[in-house]
Chain A
Amino acid sequence: MLIPHPLLGLRDSQEFTYLGDASLMQRPDASAENAEAQFCDYVFLRDNPAGVHRELWFHEQGDRSWLVVTRDTTTHEILGAELALDVKGAAK
């Protein structure tokens, strides 16, 4: 597969490692009342859609950026890729 890196353009997926569902970026608040229940969902429950999926890829043999890649799991068509830093809306 080729991953459309937002900075570097198309790069072979062999340069990346895959993590999975991008919901991992929404880490719960540890001080919340039901933090444990939230963390159980966060750690153990993932959607596994046949279709469009937002997922995390790490450009390990590249610029070491984490990407949020939107991929159709049934066709491998990639609909977009963003830097996780940008998705998170880091205030620079």
Chain B
Amino acid sequence: MTRLTGGLIDRNAPLNFTFNGKTYKGFQGDTLASALLANGVQLMGRSFKYHRPRGVFAAGSEEPNAMVELRTGARQEPNTRATVTELFDGLIARTQNHVGPLERDFMAVNDLLSPFFAAGFYYKTFMWPKVFWEKLYEPMIRKAAGLGSLSMLPDPDDYDKGFLHCDLLVVGGGAAGLAAALTAGRAGAEVVVADEDFALGGRLTMESDLLNEAAATDWIASVKAELESLPNVRIMTRTTVFGVYDHGIYGAVERVSDHLAVPGDKVRQTLWRITAKRAVLAAGATERHMPFADNDRPGVMLAGAMRAYANRWAASPVKRDSDAIAIFTNGDDGHRTAMDLIAKGAKVLGVIDAREAAPRFGDYEVFAGSIVTGTKGRLGLTAIEITRNGQSQWHSVGALGVAGGWNPNVHLASHHRGRPVWDDNLLAFVPGPNGPAGLIPAGAAAGKGGTEEALTDGMTAAITTLSEIGITASEIVLPKAENMPSEQVAFWHVPGTKRATKKRAWVDFQNDVTVKDIALAHKENMTPVEHLKRWTTLGMATDQGKTSNISALAVMAELTGKSIPETGTTIFRPPYTGVSLGVLGGGDTGPLFRPRRLTPTHAWAEAQGAEFVEVGPWMRAQYFPRAGETTWRETVDREVLAVRSGVGLCDVTTLGKVDVQGADAGEFLNRMYSNMMGTLKVGMVRYGLMLREDGHAYDDGTCARMSEDHYVVTTTTANAGLVYRQMEFAHQCLWPELDVQLISTTDAWAQIAVAGPKSRELLSRIVDEFDLSNEAFPFMACSELTICNGLRARLFRISFSGELAYEIAVPARYGDALMQRLMEQGADLGATPYGTEALSVLRIEKGHAAGAELNGQTTAQMLGLGKMVSAKKDSIGAVMSRREGMAAEKRRLVGFKSVEPQKQAMAGSHLFTDGTVQDMSTDQGWLTSSCYSPHLNGYIALGFLENGDTRMGEIIVAANPVEGQTVKLEVVSAHFVDPEGGRLRA
């Protein structure tokens, strides 16, 4: 155990957890990484490519090394950073990316083969023989290089989403963020403050700095209490703002229950879409390291992280208390770690400071003008080589902290291609002036990382940015704080590792990229930072190079002899840290994946045992099987024949319905439809064909004129929303001078098709005093009436099946009862419910076009409806439909009968003259719809055939090369049933 004193852990709340099967103890407030360190565990994983032993390197979300598989079963999650995994009782974690025990990874042989895995290795090493790549190399590399593994089980957890609106979003709850939030909160602004940590305070929780001469936690607690008391402030811990989007929209993930063993009743995570008028980026800074030979051993970590573990988690970085700790630094910051460790009673060897004039702030040894040039220790650091002026000496240590300076977390500020700018004093990139509108950086994220300056900057940022939206905020009394010494020199890496074969200095730990790889990229002319990244994979791992990008730039700058900003600028894309796909879905799974529209007779159809089919968002009855029927065809054939011989009932509520009113309703519809609608008599219905403006057929439907200035228009089910939108476009954008009012009434009316020779008889049993005779209510008539003793209804005498047929509409809540009444009243007439399959067979038998024929590539002429495009008026698409090319189109909608009646030609088959070669040049058209016709006892089809209207009786071939099928078809009229139309006028 190497637990120190103090810290922000609750020693009264011990927690047990297992790591690689062994049980350990930690405390509430620990992370998995801090608890492991406190148990003397340094080795936490194997590296990506070379399977080098690795330990924890950082103390936050930037961690490149300590990634584990967390939990078991379906909740197993790979690549979880131990540094941000809150400890809970019963936590189970395993290391990943090794074969055999962690201490003896058999894949470590890769390390010996490292010369083969240099930068760009997969572009040039595994090139030949060519077939080996797909068959051997790639699968092998993938197997060897993968990090964690997935459970392959469905995700058992729920996810959620939500929307927040605020005046000020504060990203980060450290010194600057809390000062900004408090300033804004007191001013009455709506504030959201989000921090990825589970505790507020940021770096203040990890430093020994005093505020108001007391522990910083006192001030944090008082600010937290005040913010919680303000109704206009929302504090969101465990929440990562991962991206900035246009116009002040921010994406954030709240980890609601990742800190619990199982979520229980809670969701696991929530995706928040935050609309903020202004935002303060107070995301802090990330420390960088200085590559040196063999710098990747467990026990080598960022000095600031070492300090954080000691101060916040009371965890020492060494395996045994007796092991000494050294710090390697290029500035004053490393000395703070030494001071804090000493204060905690840890054994400190001293500070190795690259500066000749290294200061000393306390009672420890300073190795001035010195560097670290080598390390020892197979599974953990045992010794370091300190070199001064070429003279080297080995020292036994159990841990080494590296302090290379701090990089402001500019990530969000670069999400709109905002370019960070180089600051020569800070030796770092800071957010530039052209970042996302409304987002201003503050504190360490703006390069103002001293405690006093961060507090002041956060307050000032809030006042400044709120004033832009008319909110006056006043200065607040900030706690007394100071800025620690932060002198540093530009020292980026220890020289001597660019070419030597044995000595490797890691830059990017997670993707195993070394200084030598960068040198190789330079040699191969991959010097622009974008090329460097892709050639070496630097910064492309899950940590996105948070600890490595700037060091790599510095090495490349040295190689090219340019300055760092001349060499390149690293910008970042969302997300800031990895976001689970589950939460991006926002919980839209199962019934929430897509809303389902149910027809008014849905429950009734369900009770009848109907099979349903999804039609867009609708669930429609597909067919109604009866006992004894063994195939769907048997059912559908029965339903079709019932319509042709008796009467069938089908819920057609899904057809779009638009109420069109106004003095100019008729003129408006004249312009929407290719045929005349203004001349329609009141009480009559007309079939209408709508074109797109390019002249192709778009949608068909009916217009029923209920009164002089009131039409009820129907559209196809699929286009209901689009046609309504198009009508609004025409009304608002083309002809606003017309007096017309539009509103959808699709849901308001339950509409039932009553089709078949006995439909009139059936309807006569439910109407109240209404003359249904052919004379009084002929084909294409419509009327309002009452049925079933007073229920208001609309009746349309229209037919999709070719039979005598009606559609009756009643207020939707009566649809279910009406269907039942029709079934009861029609029992002796053979009333039969039918679904979409029979509906389709019926309309194919009648030769009516539907979606397959109105597919956007066809014209009115092709459909045999060329005469419908009125030449007497303008309408949408009319001019373009008369284009030469459109007029020259000779394919026509015709019917087809299989020569061998039991052989089906599939829709989509292409048509050829019998005996010709089948290719593009001989293509004569295609089949659009095909089905078995119980009426004709054989397979029939509809399709577009070159000059089809003049080829009746010809035998042609339908080819379906995908399935190697050819079927001989006879060309016939598309009207298989009652071509004269006598039945529907009966």
Contacts and interface: CB of A to CB of B under 8 A. Distances in A.
Interface of A: 1-2, 10, 12, 17, 19, 24-25, 27-28, 30-31, 35-36, 39-40, 42-44, 56, 58, 60, 64-66, 76-78, 83-85, 88, 90-91
A27 B734 contact: yes
A30 B879 CA distance: 7
Contacts of B736: 84-85, 88, 90
Contacts of A88: 732-733, 736
Interface in B436-457: 437
Interface stretch (B133-141, B195-203, B244-252, B923-931): B244-252
Given A58-B725, A84-B733, 11 more contacts: A25-B734, A30-B878, A36-B882, A56-B733, A76-B246, A78-B247, A84-B736, A88-B732, A88-B733, A90-B737, A91-B737
A28 B732 CA distance: 16
Contacts of A90: 736-737
Nearest to A91: B737
A56 B729 CA distance: 10
Interface string B733-773: 11011000000000000000000000000000000000000
Interface in B831-884: 874, 878-880, 882-883
A58 B729 contact: yes
Contacts of A28: 879
11 contacts: A1-B247, A1-B249, A17-B725, A31-B874, A36-B883, A40-B883, A42-B693, A43-B693, A60-B725, A84-B736, A88-B733
Given A39-B693, A76-B246, A58 B879 contact: no
A31 B874 CA distance: 8
A36 B879 contact: yes
Interface residues of B, number: 23
A66 B732 contact: yes
Given A36-B879, A36-B882, A36-B883, A76 B247 contact: yes
B77 interface: no
A66 B733 contact: yes
B874 A43 contact: no
A25 B246 contact: no
Contacts of B321: none
Contacts of A58: 725, 728-729
Nearest to A87: B733
A64 B729 contact: no
Q: Closest 8 A-B residue pairs measured CB to CB?
A: A90-B736, A30-B874, A2-B247, A1-B246, A66-B732, A76-B246, A25-B733, A84-B733
Nearest to B730: A27
A65 B879 CA distance: 27
Nearest to B694: A43
A27 to B, nearest CB: 5
A10 B437 CA distance: 16
Contacts of A66: 728-729, 732-733
Nearest to A66: B732
B670 interface: no
B275 interface: yes
B931 to A, nearest CB: 35
A42 B880 CA distance: 11
Contacts of B437: 77
A86 to B, nearest CB: 9
A42 B882 CA distance: 16
A65 B732 CA distance: 8
B561 to A, nearest CB: 35
A88 B249 CA distance: 32
A85 B249 contact: no
Contacts of B733: 24-25, 56, 66, 84, 88
Contacts of A60: 725
Contact of A39 (B249, B275, B879): B879
A2 B737 contact: no
Contacts of B883: 36, 40
A57 B728 CA distance: 12
Nearest to A78: B247
A2 B732 contact: no
A28 to B, nearest CB: 8
Contact of A35 (B694, B734, B879): B879
Nearest to B728: A64
Nearest to A59: B728
A84 B246 contact: no
A25 B730 CA distance: 9
B954 to A, nearest CB: 35
A83 B733 CA distance: 9
A84 B732 contact: yes
Contacts of A10: 247
A42 B734 CA distance: 13
Contacts of B694: 43-44
B249 A19 contact: no
Q: Of residues B725, B874, B879, B883, which shows the largest number of chain A Cβ atoms within 10 Å of its Cβ?
A: B879
Interface in B713-731: 725, 728-729
B725 A85 contact: no
A35 to B, nearest CB: 5
Interface string B227-253: 000000000000000000111110000
A10 to B, nearest CB: 8
Contacts of B879: 28, 30, 35-36, 39
